[in-house]
Structure 1
């Protein structure tokens, strides 16, 4: 293929800024157009602007289309792009409006020979990639516990989320469906497939339709437990609580790894007092450790090499099934075996 891959974005809202910034910094890709129902918003991307997806695809012939729109638009756009001949599609999460619709989108893409990737960027955060390396190297011995404490500190009061993402207030399923889906994916990335789930969720802010705090525990075949402890009312020690979104502790029989709110990652050997720095705090470009850039770069590399990216729509179905199991566990008050 001669020249960079041509990329088009659909959606010019708040989070689209992070996508467009990342595309401008990726070797091998060029952002050639942006589409939004509000063409004035699309023009802010400083590339050719459209308010008609069909016209944009017809006139630019993109190699990759990046969908950054609400879930109720996903399936229709995916179907339209596949029929238009687009061969690689990235779609933001929450992915489609239901597990059934997500499966339908994945099947349509597979039947059409189209790469359909869910934009699940948290597993691309540098601290989780570093944890994966530590696990692979066996430096922690037998891993027994992982805890992630989500503390964004942005959920108090009647105006919570209105300035940035107002639709958060009306989501009937919020903490798990919108936010913790990231950590479902991270837990699977780090540890594989769980064998059981227990969840206890709650709504603290009466201005919201959905839950904004709660816990879930993944059990694994080897006896390990991974715990998500989320509360959007509370914060953690960080100049930017949306850098890491919280703090984490990964514990094994030979040592532990600790993630702090400044993005630093340290290793302490079992029985020791001193810690070894694995990842120093730094000023990151882009969103949450430059994770949007990392995901999109990964997709570009896979397209150029003819490889299968992480988080294909078909592989992502497991995340959605686990999300449903979390809500069932909360409703029933019971631990669910998978």
Structure 2
């Protein structure tokens, strides 16, 4: 079944969306809209200066993909719902707060629109490989996981200005913009979260929000995970933003290790040897081509091929966890969550 997709946004990250939809078999990228029309025109696709102009000029697509700055998301989703879009994908951060996200989710459901959050890290191939190994019992009973985020891009007064300058002005940064990727990914890997404890801090005075911190997740059943994030530090990798760090998943029979080159390694308990489960990623695309993988997943869903991940309703759990993380850091107390 041929499908049409349109993208709202023509900035740095939106380019990954354009490329993904254009490469996806059976989908036509019918239009790109951006408030600076010249940037939309530079993509080479039919260009419009606003979402309403896109709907009027190119028609309502099967899939509208919103890839703009966070403060624009609510109005863009509302406009897409009113226009009758079948499927709306919205980049994270999803809305400015949990209350907005709940209201927008209810509005989409009432209108019959399928609203999906573009949370792409769970689609990175190394996490899919680790999840498959866990399900196959390669490391026995899972006990804990950890990730050390070290992109090395947050030092000095020029931090982020060359790529996403609005990062400097976000009052909530490390968790709201970045660590939320692992909040969702840890849910994917280890299941629902019962409680969180967080210690966040601001290290670079050039930015408004926090840029380092520790977050401990209790998944129940004796399983814990920890996120250790620091945007000022780097890790052993040629491309620091490929995996953005290094990770471990440990069980009663072995350990899975994620390296900075995207490779996944298995070491059996009490062994000195590692087996490569996934070789280094050499595809050259952002995050193991996770944007394409998410777009492909949504297109497959529209063709009746499988269930849909990261519906807005389910993603509200991620935002509830985000709120709890900030409250924990502010109060110094563990925060319980409804699973």
Do the structures match in fold with TM over 0.5? yes
Instruction: Tell me what 1:170 maps to.
Output: 169
CA distance in 2, matches of 1:35, 1:261: 35
The yes-or-no answer on 1:263 pairing with 2:259 is no
Alignment-derived partner of residue 31 in structure 2: 33
The answer to whether the Cα contact below 8 Å between 1:22 and 1:286 also exists between their aligned partners in 2 is: no
The answer (yes or no) to whether the contact 1:151–1:233 under 8 Å persists in 2 is yes
Give the Cα–Cα distance (whole angstroms) in 2 for the partners of residues 221 and 149 of structure 1: 22
TM superposition shift of 1:306: 6.8
Q: In 1, Cα distance between the equivalents of 2:306 and 2:184?
A: 21
Q: Which runs of 5+ in 2 are unaligned?
A: none
Match of 2:84 in 1: 85
Matches within 5 A, 1:180-329: 180-305=179-304, 308-329=307-328
1: CA distance, partners of 2:197 / 2:44: 47
For structure 1, list consecutive stretches of 5 or more residues without a partner in the other structure: none
Report the counterpart of residue 20 of structure 1 in structure 2: 18
CA offsets, 1:58-77, max 9 Å, x none?
A: 33221111101122211111
Give 1:71's aligned residue: 70
Question: d(CA) in 1 for partners of 2:120 and 2:267?
Answer: 27
Task: Render the CA deviation track for 1:109-145: whole Å, top value 9, x for unaligned.
Answer: 1111111100000000001001111111122112111
The corresponding residue for 1:128 is 127
Q: Secondary structure at the match of 1:305?
A: coil
1:21-54 deviation digits (Å, cap 9, x = unpaired): 1111111211111000111100111011100211
Per-residue CA shift, 1:173-213, capped at 9, x if unaligned? 00000000000000000111111111001111011110000
**Secondary structure at the residue paired with 1:95?**
coil
Instruction: Tell me which moved more, 302-311 or 43-52.
Output: 302-311
In structure 2, distance between residues paired with 1:337 and 1:57: 44
Q: Per-residue deviation at 1:307?
A: 5.2
Correspondence 1:152 to 2:171: no
Deviation at 1:220, TM superposition (A): 2.0
C-alpha distance in 2, partners of 1:85/1:240?
Answer: 41
Partner in structure 2 of residue 115 of structure 1: 114
Q: Deviations over 1:70-113 (max 9, x none)?
A: 22211111111111111111100101111111111111111111
Provide the secondary structure at the position in 2 that maps to 1:234.
coil
Q: Could you say what secondary structure the match of 1:208 adopts?
A: coil
Aligned residues: 336
Q: Look up the SS of the partner of 1:158 in the other structure.
A: coil
Counterpart of 1:53?
A: 51
Partners of 2:146 and 2:247 within 8 A in 1:
yes
